[in-house]
Amino acid sequence: MKSVALHVVAYPEGEVGPEHFAVVPLELPDPDQLAEGEVLVRNTWTSVDPGLRLRLSAAAPDGYFAAFPLDRPMDGVLTVGEVLASRAAGFAPGDTVWHSLGWREHAVVRADEVAMNGVGTLRRLDVTGREPQWFLGALGPMGLTAYSGLAVVDGLGGGGVVWVSAGAGAVGSLVAQIARNLGHRVIASAGSPEKVAWLRDELGIDAFSYRDEPLRDGLRRLAPDGIDLYFDNVGGDHLEAALDAMRMHGRIALCGTVSDYESEPRGPHNIFLATAKHLTLAGFRGSLHLDLLDEMQQRVGDWVAAGRLLHRESVYDGLESAPTALADLLAGRTIGKTLVRLA
Ligand SMILES: NC(=O)c1ccc[n+]([C@@H]2O[C@H](COP(=O)([O-])OP(=O)(O)OC[C@H]3O[C@@H](n4cnc5c(N)ncnc54)[C@H](OP(=O)(O)O)[C@@H]3O)[C@@H](O)[C@H]2O)c1
């Protein structure tokens, strides 16, 4: 059968754009030609993540997901879809699933193939009372990243002062609300008045814009006695400001450094403060904490149902819009989880 996929046709030097991708025909077996263990999926939603930018070069960072080869479909991007045909036990036409062959309209997925540390392995989803695309956001890898980051540095306790950067983004907005539901006092930073208004007025989170107020001023204003836990989505100047603002024995969850994905690394230049203040800095990957997935889905699902956790999406339509969605995400033009709708 005929379908289409996005290929990377050139690696960006600086900012990514549509010129680095092409929509290319994709030839797939017909439903009655599937091999044993294969499932044919019509993808309906595909994820857009900052980490994709790290893989748009000849080599990805050591230990991370593999770089995308040129002129081939992009394997290792989480996607939700509907099963059209199956020769794998446990999967039937009509099932909603997630898998790792995104940025294309259809995929033939091997049910037994472990993908993306297991988080991208073909999985049937219970969408009763839930939208399928929530499994790319709050009930999927974004929820797992937020939840496991807090688990790694703080054991899911409460009672501290938490700062989360990129607070209006997919991970950040979940961190802010999960931390608040765990009993922390939360402040968030973001890059525009619109994002700050959403955080403050709709989510009830104290927030400031780092573009309108120096980071250290915003932190001093909202957390005059310092912070106990910093969830770092940004790196660079944000991590530096956090080191200044941390209290003794504070903890920092190193989730990502989106401020340097399209440029040179930017510090921090005050790392000795981690020693002086006896801080714990912990890098982590949500995909390496699959053991927490069921617990996270249960707790976050309950908070969503109770109105104690809201999620928001920035939706782009059609496969050809995915490169623009990625460029917009990295430039800070999206709010909440950034998604491409394929159906
Ligand atoms: N460790 C893991 O397992 C894992 C998993 C998923 C994601 N991540 C990381 O988590 C972070 C957030 O990912 P996400 O998917 O939730 O993306 P997101 O927050 O929805 O989007 C990225 C945001 O980064 C902010 N940003 C971009 N450049 C910036 C800069 N120079 N300074 C400050 N902020 C900047 C923008 O928000 P503003 O408008 O507010 O600037 C933008 O909206 C990323 O670092 C990502 O790589 C880690």
> Of 258, 281, 316, which is best to mutate to test ligand 1, by the most ligand atoms within 8 angstroms of its C-beta?
258
d(CA 173, CA 199): 8
Give the whole-angstrom CA distance, residue 185 versus residue 169: 19
pLDDT score of 78: 98
- pLDDT of 182 > 90? The answer is yes
Instruction: Output DSSP code: residue 73.
Output: B
Across residues 311-338, what is the average pLDDT? 98
Residue 28 alpha carbon to ligand 1 centre in Å: 34
**pLDDT value of residue 264:** 87
Interval 256-273: pLDDT, tens: 999 999 998 888 999 999
CA–CA gap between residue 180 and residue 199 (Å, rounded): 12
State how far the Cα of 194 lies from the Cα of 141, in Å rounded to an integer.
25
Average pLDDT score over the chain: 97
For residue 265, the model assigns a pLDDT of 86
Residue 238 DSSP SS3: helix
Q: What is the identity of the amino acid at 223?
A: A
Q: Ligand 1 mean position to 122 CA, how many Å?
A: 26
Q: Distance from the CA of 240 to the center of ligand 1, in angstroms?
A: 16
SS3 117: helix
Supply the pLDDT for residue 55. 98
Instruction: Say if residue 110's pLDDT is above 90.
Output: yes
Q: Ligand 1 pocket check: which of 171, 200, 262, 288 to mutate, most ligand atoms within 8 Å of Cβ? A: 171
pLDDT of res. 16: 98
Say what the pLDDT of residue 295 is: 98
- The closest of 75, 232, 208, 71 to 153, measured between CA atoms, is 232
Both structure tokens of 93: 């036409």
Q: How far is the CA of 276 from the centre of ligand 1 (A)?
A: 28
pLDDT band at 77 (very low <50, low <70, confident <90, very high): very high
Is the model's pLDDT at 82 over the cut of 90?
Answer: yes
Say how many C-beta atoms besides its own lie within 10 A of residue 288's C-beta.
13
- Taking only the tens place, the pLDDT of each residue in 20-68 is 999 999 999 999 999 999 999 999 999 999 999 999 999 999 999 999 9
Across the range 75-97, mean pLDDT stands at: 98
Distance of CA 2 from the midpoint of ligand 1 (Å): 35
Q: Which residues, other chains included, contact 201 with Cβ-Cβ below 8 Å and sequence gap of 6+?
A: none
pLDDT band (50, 70, 90) for residue 299? very high
Q: What pLDDT shows up at residue 267? A: 87
> What's the confidence (pLDDT) of residue 343?
75
Using a 6 Å CB cutoff, which residues line ligand 1?
49-51, 145, 166, 168-172, 190-192, 195, 233-234, 255-256, 258-259, 284-287, 329-330, 332, 334, 338
- Taking residues 140-156, report their average pLDDT: 96
Amino acid, single-letter form, for residue 65 = F
Cα(41) to ligand 1 centroid in Å equals: 29
Whole-number percent of the chain with pLDDT over 70: 100
In whole angstroms, give the CA distance from residue 257 to residue 321.
25
The pLDDT of residue 119 is: 95
Q: Which atom of ligand 1 is nearest to the CA of 336?
A: 20
Mean pLDDT for the stretch of residues 225-242: 98
pLDDT for the residue numbered 266: 81
Q: Which atom of ligand 1 is nearest to the CA of 283?
A: 1
How many C-beta atoms lie closer than 10 Å to residue 217's C-beta? 13
The whole-number pLDDT of residue 312 equals: 96
Which H helix or E strand runs over 148?
helix 141-154
Alpha-carbon span 291 to 182, nearest angstrom: 19
Is residue 106 a contact partner of residue 77, using CB atoms and an 8 Å limit? no
**Confidence at residue 325, expressed as pLDDT on a 0 to 100 scale:** 98
Q: What is the pLDDT of residue 221?
A: 98
Q: Amino acid identity of 216?
A: R
Output the CA 141–ligand 1 centroid distance in Å.
14
Q: Which of 233, 263, 290, 311 to mutate to test the pocket of ligand 1 (most atoms within 8 A of CB)?
A: 233
Cis-peptide into 224, omega within 30 deg:
no
Encode 247-283 in three state secondary structure.
Answer: EEEEEEEECCCHHHCCCCCCCCCCCHHHHHCCCEEEE
Mean pLDDT in residue range 181-198: 98
Minimal-distance CA residue to ligand 1 atom 20: 169
Cβ neighbours for 231, distance < 8 A, ≥ 6 positions apart: 146, 149, 150, 162, 163, 164, 165, 172, 175, 179, 252, 253, 255
Which amino acid belongs to residue 226? Answer: G
